[in-house]
Structure 1
Amino acid sequence: MQRKSIPGTLLMLLAILLLVTGTFARSWRAGDECPSTIKVSIPGGRYYRDDEPKKPLLDTMASVHAALTTCPNITSLDLRVSLQGCSNWPDRWSFPFSLPGGETYPALRQIRLEGYRFDDRPVDETGWPKGSYLPWYEKSLDWVFSGNAMRALRYHMLPREQREKNNIQLWLDAMDWSQVEEFAFLGHQQPDTVSALLNSTQGVMPGLRRVELGRGQPWSTLQFLLNVERHSLTHLTSIDSFNRKTPFALREVQGDSLQHIDLHTVETTLVESPAYTATELEHFKHMPNLTHLSLNIARNGTWLFEELSAISQIPSLRTAELWLDITSMCRKQKVDNGHYNVEDPNCKGRDQYLLPYINETSTLEVFKFLRAKKIGEELTNVTFWGGDWSRPWDGPVYSPPWIEGRKVKVLCTNGKEEHGSGEENCTVLTGVEYWDQKARWYEDVDEMWLNDSEQFY
């Protein structure tokens, strides 16, 4: 009886295999339709219904690299590389450039990279297998049959300068960077990859006008600005890279051209978000073309009107975004070494939130103060951001912080565009009376799951 069941089992496995392979589209390869822009997250992939056309996907670093070396009309690249979930790894953290060279990328105008590693070196990928408990002869077989032994031999025959090039140096060889107008590099705390970028890009992007740097070393923004032509940038965003020298440095090297500056820091549960003093904010009033400013403003039971007054003294400023903490100091102190003391009877309910609360009344007071003190151009609108506006976590399992999902957004305008009356008004767009809301992790979480989760808060 058991022997008769084997063919049926094999047929079932074959049917499942055909079903799975029919559900997924293959990776993009040379000969497929060329995209004009690329915006992907690696690893990628998606499910298709049986009646859907299965377009080839740019779901690996290798497939994106193939498109860039094949399609001359691509103008922009928006790429995120990350570990998604617990086991969904990217095939690589950088593009697989040929170490001998000879590859060509189109002259991209927009580049946005998150999690990319510029310090990777092809020669390091061909070395003797490390971190393995296999015996030496099995390591030898793995080294040979993987092709790394032959690649190592070919690389050894290259000139030393070419052999030791890292990823950013190979990318510079493959592409004309003078056409880049917008460049963003996000999500890296590793000094080596930041240094690789900074050490190789001095003067290579003369057409650069917009820069976004995020979640890097505090010194990385200032270092990058030294690589750019003086007074050429119009837009600068530097997130979670607070440095008290930044306002002065911007005034000196890019102050004549900057129109849009964003220097905000995302709130965390443990520490107070850093904010510039009134003296440091004075540097912005010497930037003649600055029309928009986004940064953190502190408060300690009341608004710090000295700092707000410094913002209103920027003659050319027309719009602003103010980032505010919503977590009280007593709530921040309840977290010790990453553990929350649920039995602590103090600092519950509204005491966990910083005063004054961010609502229509409090923000309207600030907005009217800014407009009354404003010199030069009229301040037409101010957006107030409070709490956690970071992207929801999609990496490995982790313990979400208390602040996660708690947020508020208020827009204040002069009323001319909406009503034509010119009367200032403020509207809460997200997080109405957030200080009375129960614990939420994400706004789109299933309500039943929310109720089960509240016991942990």
Structure 2
Amino acid sequence: MDAFRRFLLLLSTLALCRAGMGELEEALIPKRCPNFVKATIPGYHSSFSTDLLHQKLRDCPNVRALDLRLTLLGCTEGPERWTLPFRHGEKNIYPALTWLRLEGYRFHEVTYERSMAQNWFASTNLELWAEAMDWSMLETLDLVDSLSQHFVDVVWPHLGKLKHLSIRAWSNEDEPDAAEALIALPGEVGLESLSWQGPRKPGGLEKVLSRYGHSLKELDLGLGRPLDWAALTMQEVRTVQQLAPGLKKLSVVVERNGTWPLEMLAALAELESVEEMELGWQLETERVLEADRLMRPWVHRRENPYQQPELSKRAAEELFEVLERRRKETGQGATRLKRVVLASGNGLRAWDGPLDTPGSFEHERVRYECRRTLLEGEEVVCEARR
């Protein structure tokens, strides 16, 4: 009887493990070579590692897309390493990816091998990856962590076919100037979409749009963390209007100070080619943000912690009508606004690692998606979204 119970326990354990397999485990089942591999290491209920992912990428020449996140997830231990286990001398062992998203990857790490003991200047992991894969086929690149000068130096020259780029640049000392890095891509690159989060220096956007504005269809200027927001200026709106005539989608942060910025909204509506807009407003006041920067608790003390005016469904409908009315006034050549998203609060994924110390309003957000419906006399409809 005891043996039978142990057998049933083993079966139930196997069933639970199978049911809890993550995306990476599903992708790495033997004899399965998907075109797209998504991996979070370590993941819940997952024993897979960078070694197994590395082997799968070596064995599957048809893989074209990789979404890799290395992290401290929940209360689990960290990954066994924060890089893929490349070795010196491995050339073109990976398939030529066309889509790549990386988070938590430590490009600067150096692995010293016994055979390289006499060489004091071993290659970084990124330099080994540059040899192990043909980067010239990459069309989409999303770097969740800050862009480094090392990445620009090693990888940038190979990205001649890049069309879609997403970077974060917080202007730390070891990071390049974001605008200079963007225009340093190979001359044949014509970006169709660009997401640029982080502060922008004066004239930086003009440099970038002078290079890519003719080909750009989508531009995202940072609907990320409120602490890192860089609000759009009127000069930048004029720059977009002059240098990006074919832009279809624009995502920006807009300032407000006790009233809605109607002049800025009118200027945005005059971007005749834009069909979709995402406009973000800061949720909390500057005093709340300053307390978060200093990691001090915020005490309300009868003071409203929310910036005014607050975004509501009624306000979203009125703002959408302001944009539409101004768009009609610009002339017959202007396209119709198909969709406008109005948001307030943190737009990034909530922290899912250990020792969570969220800001005062990190998990609060308001988001409305507005459009004009053909039903009931073409009413403006603004629906709440997550």
TM-score bin (small chain):
0.7 to 0.9
Q: How does 1:203-242 map to 2 (within 5 A)?
A: 203-214=157-168, 216-217=170-171, 219=176, 221-222=178-179, 223-229=181-187, 232-242=190-200
Q: How does 1:70-89 map to 2 (within 5 A)?
A: 70-89=59-78
Alignment match of 1:197 (pick from 151, 161, 171): 151
Spell out, residue by residue over 1:88-110, the C-alpha distance to the aligned partner (whole angstroms, 9 max, x if none).
11111111111122451101110
Contact 1:275-1:295 at 8 Å conserved across structures: yes
Contact 1:215-1:239 at 8 Å conserved across structures: yes
Spell out, residue by residue over 1:152-174, the C-alpha distance to the aligned partner (whole angstroms, 9 max, x if none).
2x11467x8xx632222221212
What's 1:107 paired with?
96
Distance 1:17 1:91, change over 3 A: farther
The answer as to 2:280 corresponding to 1:323 is yes
**CA–CA distance in structure 2, aligned partners of residues 106 and 282 of structure 1:** 43
**CA–CA distance in structure 2, aligned partners of residues 170 and 377 of structure 1:** 48
Which is higher, the Rg of structure 1 or of structure 2?
1
Displacement, 1:334?
A: 5.8
**CA–CA distance in structure 1, aligned partners of residues 378 and 365 of structure 2:** 29
**CA–CA distance in structure 1, aligned partners of residues 261 and 127 of structure 2:** 47
Spell out, residue by residue over 1:320-353, the C-alpha distance to the aligned partner (whole angstroms, 9 max, x if none).
00011121345446668322254x6331xxx222
Contact 1:242-1:263 at 8 Å conserved across structures: no
Distance 1:424 1:167, change over 3 A: same
Alignment match of 1:345 (pick from 293, 301, 305): 301
**CA–CA distance in structure 1, aligned partners of residues 293 and 52 of structure 2:** 45
What's 1:395 paired with?
353
What percent of counterpart residues are identical?
25
Unaligned runs of 5+ in 1: 1-7, 48-56, 124-150, 431-457
**CA–CA distance in structure 2, aligned partners of residues 320 and 389 of structure 1:** 15
What's 2:369 paired with?
411
The answer as to 2:54 corresponding to 1:65 is yes
Distance 1:176 1:334, change over 3 A: closer
**CA–CA distance in structure 2, aligned partners of residues 203 and 333 of structure 1:** 40
Displacement, 1:118?
A: 1.5
Contact 2:72-2:78 at 8 Å conserved across structures: yes
Spell out, residue by residue over 1:333-389, the C-alpha distance to the aligned partner (whole angstroms, 9 max, x if none).
6668322254x6331xxx222211211222222222222222322222210111122
**CA–CA distance in structure 2, aligned partners of residues 272 and 33 of structure 1:** 41
Displacement, 1:239?
A: 2.6
**CA–CA distance in structure 2, aligned partners of residues 96 and 225 of structure 1:** 31
For residue 98 of structure 1, give the secondary structure of its aligned residue in structure 2: coil
TM value normalised by structure 1: 0.72
Alpha-carbon RMSD across the aligned residues, in angstroms, is: 3.2
Letter matched to residue 155 of structure 1: M
Contact 1:232-1:254 at 8 Å conserved across structures: yes
The answer as to 2:106 corresponding to 1:155 is no
Contact 2:340-2:369 at 8 Å conserved across structures: yes
**CA–CA distance in structure 1, aligned partners of residues 84 and 367 of structure 2:** 38
Contact 2:43-2:73 at 8 Å conserved across structures: no
Q: How does 1:36-435 map to 2 (within 5 A)?
A: 36-46=35-45, 59-102=48-91, 104-123=93-112, 151-152=113-114, 154-156=115-117, 164-188=122-146, 194-214=148-168, 216-217=170-171, 219=176, 221-222=178-179, 223-229=181-187, 232-268=190-226, 273-286=229-242, 287-332=244-289, 337-340=294-297, 342=299, 345-347=301-303, 351-374=304-327, 375=330, 376-416=334-374, 419=375, 421-430=377-386
Contact 1:231-1:258 at 8 Å conserved across structures: no
Q: What is the aligned length?
A: 367
Displacement, 1:410?
A: 0.9
**CA–CA distance in structure 1, aligned partners of residues 229 and 61 of structure 2:** 44
**CA–CA distance in structure 1, aligned partners of residues 166 and 239 of structure 2:** 21
Contact 1:30-1:70 at 8 Å conserved across structures: no
Unaligned runs of 5+ in 2: none
Spell out, residue by residue over 1:204-261, the C-alpha distance to the aligned partner (whole angstroms, 9 max, x if none).
1211111111365475542144224366010111234544434212221111100001
* Of 81-90 and 103-112, the range deviating more from structure 2: 81-90
For residue 343 of structure 2, give the secondary structure of its aligned residue in structure 1: strand
